[in-house]
Structure 1
Amino acid sequence: MRVLLTGSSGWLGRFLAPRLRAAGHHVLGLDVAAGADTQIIGSVANPGVIQNAFDRGVDAVIHAASLHKPDIARYPEQAFVDVNITGTLNLLEAARRAGHDRFVFTSTTSLMISRAIREESADHAVWLDEQSGPLLPRNIYGVTKLAAESLCRLYAENHGLNGVVLRTARFFPEDDDTHASPSGENLKANELLHRRLTVEDAADAHIAALERAPQIGFGTFILSAPTPFSREDAAALKQDAPSVINRLYPEAAALYAARGWTLPHSIGRVYDSGHAERVLGFTCATSFADVLTALREGHPMPFAHDPTYLSPKER
């Protein structure tokens, strides 16, 4: 297929484009910034840019372009509406006119996090799956991504445009912009227990979604590394996470100590990717067990960490 990949110069795009080609697809990249896999420079908020892309021949769309949570400090709220909502609508309408049978949308687990969940005020870890709700996004990023998800559903129901929405957990390489402790790699390693995946797994999930969309019709899927926890662990995870982790991974504490790392004292939320495993047929290849293997054998961490990373659009 000839796949239009928006956000082709971004962190996900640079991993997804070569994987799409390896799977036999032709990639037409669209981004506001130049990149190795970007042929069209422009915004999805501009209908003319979208028409230019479709005039070149497009069979399917993977819409990964977005303003993200760190952009809240850089852009006004209207820009989020223009890019995340209007841009998605522009692409859906172009795909509908072209008679497409599949549309893959990159969303975020962030839209599932209300202020209460963010503040971790519950006495247990909140278990989050596709049935969780009501959804009360806490910022303009989450609000606009949730609205864009609804547009994808609407086009599937009203126009038969099969859509797969992928709510990705964290896979950014830079440091967390709100948490300084524990530091970068330690925090990312901890998050693979309950709220992170690698960018490679995120890219592979999009290819699986592209292939499965006509069979699914419309579906929303959480993407995160498989959690080792069960719902029965929720209270203990909030009160004493190391005890749960050490029960499941007896060597974890010693391996962490040797690296000068700390296990999470408390875990306030867990993303459950079981629905993606069962329906989409996709399971992340990298998990917390791979972190422990790397620590034990002295290998590099199985995830990317680059505290200097800056989105190409900001360079």
Structure 2
Amino acid sequence: MRVLLTGSSGWLGRFLAPRLRAAGHVVTGLDVAPGTDTDVIGSVGDRAHIDRLFAQHRFDAVIHSGALHKPDIVRYPRQAFIDVNVAGTLNLLEAAVTHGAGRFVFTSTTSLMISAAIRDGAGDEAVWIDESLAPLEPRNIYGITKLAAEQMCRLIHSEHRLPVLILRTGRFFPEDDDTHHTLDGENMKANELLHRRLTVEDAADAHLVALERAPDIGFGTFILSAPTPFTRADCAALKTDAAAVIARAFPDAPTLYAARGWSLPAHIDRVYDAGLAERVLGFRCRTGFAEQLAALQGQAPAPVTHDPRYVSPKETR
């Protein structure tokens, strides 16, 4: 297929583009910043530019992973988020319909599911988060615009029957968390594989599966995160003594962590359930907490990339 990939210079794009090409697809990478896999420099907010690209390349499919993200809140005004995340998504959807593209994959975020109450850890139990969570009350402009873009996807599918799959990805960024600094970044990422993170490699692989499955499914929204070892029955204990719950599931974890000088989480306030993606989309992340412990056991490199020096290419252009 002829695929337009937005955000091709970004962290996900640099893993996704080579996979698409290896699968036999002809990829045109679009980004505001240059990169190895970027063929065209431009913004999704420029509708005339988008229409010219579609007319020139006659894309069969779109993977829309380009966006302004949560760390960009301190760098860009709210209007920029609306222009890129909302209007840019609409530009691509309408161009896909006008020019006859047959499928659309949208990279969304689990962040839009996290209200201020969930973020602050309110309540006596960890919140079990799956696609049925409602109402959705995003706590910042990033989440608000990604939710609006999702609704745009729903509208265009409803009106034009364009196959659209929405992938709400958990965390896969390589840099340190921009708000939490209580743990070493590598330790924190390892912990998050239990309940809210996936590797960038798994995120890229999921997009390939979604690209293939979109016509059969038609429309769907899927959380992407490493398989959690927890169940709903664990939610109360996770809030009060998460380390004990983890040790029951992974008896070697305390020893392996201690040898590394790491800490297991004392409390977990949310758990992402990626079961729907496995049942309907047919995708399950290959890497989870068990693989992280195996790496510690064998003194091998961690399966999750940690790079505190990573900066988005759009900030260095």
Question: Above 0.5 in TM-score?
Answer: yes
User: Which amino acid in structure 1 is aligned with residue 22 of structure 2?
Assistant: A
* Residue matched to 1:284: 285
* Residue matched to 2:122: 121
- Give the 5 Å matches for 1:145-294: 145-294=146-295
Distance 1:264 1:117 in 2: 17
Distance 1:31 1:49 in 2: 12
Q: Aligned with 1:255: secondary structure?
A: helix
Q: Post-superposition shift, 1:51?
A: 1.7
Is the contact made by 1:175 and 1:306 (CA closer than 8 Å) also made in structure 2?
yes
Task: Give TM-score, length-normalised by structure 2.
Answer: 0.99
Is the contact made by 2:2 and 2:57 (CA closer than 8 Å) also made in structure 1?
no
* Residue matched to 1:49: 49
Q: Post-superposition shift, 1:57?
A: 2.4
Q: Post-superposition shift, 1:260?
A: 0.1
- Give the 5 Å matches for 1:74-93: 74-93=75-94
Task: Give the ranges of 4+ consecutive aligned residues of structure 1 lying more than 6 Å apart after TM superposition.
Answer: none
Residues 70-127 of structure 1: CA distance to partner in whole angstroms, max 9, x if unpaired? Answer: 0000000000000000000000000001122210000000000000000001100000
Is the contact made by 1:101 and 1:160 (CA closer than 8 Å) also made in structure 2?
no
Residues 258-294 of structure 1: CA distance to partner in whole angstroms, max 9, x if unpaired? Answer: 0000000000000000000000000000000011001
Q: Aligned with 2:12: secondary structure?
A: helix
Distance 1:53 1:70 in 2: 29
Q: Post-superposition shift, 1:58?
A: 1.0
Is the contact made by 2:295 and 2:301 (CA closer than 8 Å) also made in structure 1?
yes
Task: Give TM-score, length-normalised by structure 1.
Answer: 0.99
Structure 2: 5+ residue stretches without partners:
none
User: Which amino acid in structure 1 is aligned with residue 102 of structure 2?
Assistant: D
User: Which amino acid in structure 2 is aligned with residue 267 of structure 1?
Assistant: I
Residues 180-238 of structure 1: CA distance to partner in whole angstroms, max 9, x if unpaired? Answer: 11111000000000000000000000000000000111000000000000000000000
* Residue matched to 1:20: 20
* Residue matched to 2:108: 107
Q: Post-superposition shift, 1:257?
A: 0.2
Structure 1: 5+ residue stretches without partners:
none
Q: Post-superposition shift, 1:128?
A: 0.2
Q: CA RMSD in A?
A: 0.5
User: Which amino acid in structure 2 is aligned with residue 233 of structure 1?
Assistant: D
Is the contact made by 1:156 and 1:162 (CA closer than 8 Å) also made in structure 2?
yes
Percent identical: 69
Matched, 1:4 2:4: yes
User: Which amino acid in structure 2 is aligned with residue 252 of structure 1?
Assistant: A
Is the contact made by 2:58 and 2:101 (CA closer than 8 Å) also made in structure 1?
no
